[in-house]
Amino acid sequence: MVKKILLALIVSALASGASYANQTLAMQSGCLGCHKVDAKLVGPAFKDIASKYAGDPAEVDRLTSKVKAGSTPGEPLVWGAVAMPPNASPPEKIKQVIEWVMTLN
């Protein structure tokens, strides 16, 4: 019984460590300059993004590409009147942030 509890605590600690690391990565990548986890800032809240795109694993790759490229001039804006600038971070780091965002649903 004690072993099961310890194992559960270890797994929980590792999971929260990964979550914290990806939130830190979001901050380092400049995402938190325009987004908050649970409230709209310049861009939508991460929780709103997670809710909108929940349930479709293909969205992670699509959103990674979208964040990397930013909003394309002339395309309809999804979240309001402010276009998203391109992100200079490597795609694998953007994907880690998107995967973290998707866990917020």
User: Running DSSP on this structure, what letter comes out for residue 31?
Assistant: G
What CATH architecture applies to the domain 2-102? Orthogonal Bundle (1.10)
Percent of the chain predicted with pLDDT > 90: 55
Place of tokens 């909108």: 52
Q: How confident is the model at residue 77 (pLDDT cuts 50, 70, 90)?
A: confident
Q: How confident is the model at residue 22 (pLDDT cuts 50, 70, 90)?
A: confident
Domain residues of the chain, as ranges?
2-102
Which pLDDT score, from 0 to 100, does residue 4 have? 55
Q: Which tokens in the block code for residue 26?
A: 């979001």
Mean pLDDT of the chain: 83
Nearest to 89 by CA among 74, 60, 67: 67
Distance between CA atoms of residues 80 and 82, nearest Å: 6
- Which has the minimum average pLDDT: 47-51, 78-82, 101-105? 78-82
Q: What is the mean pLDDT of residues 7-21?
A: 47
